[in-house]
Amino acid sequence: MNYMKTAILLAGMTALFMGIGALIGGQQGMLIALVFAAGMNLFSYWNSDKMVLSMHGAQQADEQTAPELFQVVRELSSRAGLPMPKVYLMDNPQPNAFATGRNPENAAVAATTGLLQMLNKDEIAGVMAHELAHIKNRDTLIMTVTATFAGAISMVTNFGMLFGGNRNNNGIGMIGTIAMMILAPLAAMIVQMAISRTREYAADRMGAEISGQPMALASALNKISGAAHAIPNEDAERNPATAHMFIINPLSGERMDNLFSTHPAVENRIAQLQQIAGEMGATTRMSSAPRVGSVTGPKARPRGPWG
């Protein structure tokens, strides 16, 4: 099913890309866009994860630079029946995390230093389990390819604005180009939204099963959601096409990019986790652990939540 979703996504993004090319440059523009989209499909499959990690300044961590986080991910990966993914840290005060990679054998999880500061060990394990669920469900390929294409679509429409579109009978001219600059990124966003909500619910459920503590994940979502809108994420603001990859929308909401959320309401996600907790016989009391020690950067050793 996930392979089918990926194929549909690639086809939809490719068609949108070709349509933009046709509007800007007529038939020749469409052919150029087709060639470019074919290259984008191939490039995205192999390299989009590296691009996304680079966009957010993620630095790879290991047992020396982040031993406790590395151990948590390793234990959860073993419990989930997954290969150990690469672990990355982002020097960012906003608590957040995402997963990326074309398959479980080539996957990575990334967490911000703010996440390690604000959450306790069980909550961090819940977040990492959620991200591992994305890997197990093979959502990460869909997320990274979508981010790459959405960014490319915005870039191409900006080029269309610079050149004013094709002014012959097959083109759309300046007015059409301006309209396209608004509508094309919106269409790409709608494609992201179409798969995001069910994907997040499914990852919450599987993440709760992997960690065995659904209410720790619920508590983490509550804390991250409250802090994400108060603490700016400058890397995410510069690259809004990657917002759907994070466990909580990292955008401040001050831009048009955040007009439509790619994530379900946190209240609904917590309600589902409460139901799962009841099914598992787990406690429904959210963790109220105090804020833990600080982390100074990606190369610093996380302190606090692991003692």
Nearest-5° angle of CA 65, CA 246, CA 216?
Answer: 75
Read off the tokens for 98. Answer: 């995402």
Q: Own/partner pairs for 12-19, CB < 8 Å, 24+ apart?
A: 12/191, 13/37, 13/145, 13/146, 13/149, 13/150, 13/153, 13/188, 13/191, 14/38, 14/41, 16/153, 16/184, 16/187, 16/188, 16/191, 17/149, 17/152, 17/153, 17/156
CA distances (Å), origin 251, targets 154, 227, 271:
17, 11, 23
H/E stretch holding 105 reads: none
**N-terminal to C-terminal alpha carbon distance within the chain:** 42
Q: How far is CA 185 from the centre of its chain?
A: 17
3-class state of residue 59 by DSSP:
strand
Q: Which residues contact 46 (CB under 8 A, 6 or more apart)?
A: 102
Q: Rounded to 5 degrees, what angle do the CA atoms 21, 22, 23 make?
A: 90
How far is the C-alpha of 180 from the C-alpha of 158, rounded, in Å?
A: 9
Among 73, 17, 24, which residue's Cα sits nearest to residue 44? 17
pTM across the whole model: 0.74
Of 236, 304, 204, nearest to 93 (Cα)? 236
Q: Using DSSP, how many helices (H) and how many strands (E) does the chain show?
A: 9, 4
Residue in 123, 131, 209, 237 annotated catalytic: 131
In the residue annotation, 131 being an active-site residue is answered as yes
Q: Tell me the sheet residues that pair with 100.
A: 108
Structure tokens, 198: 């069910």
Angle 300-289-208 (CA atoms, 0-180°, nearest 5)? 90
Length of the chain: 307
Please list the pLDDT of the chain residue by residue as tens digits (307 residues).
Answer: 455 665 666 676 667 766 776 666 666 666 766 677 667 666 766 777 898 999 999 999 999 999 989 999 999 999 999 999 999 999 999 999 999 998 999 999 999 999 999 999 999 999 999 999 999 988 887 766 666 666 666 666 666 555 555 444 444 555 655 666 666 666 666 665 665 667 899 999 999 999 999 999 999 999 999 999 899 999 999 888 788 889 999 987 654 444 456 688 899 999 999 999 999 885 545 554 444 333 434 444 444 444 4
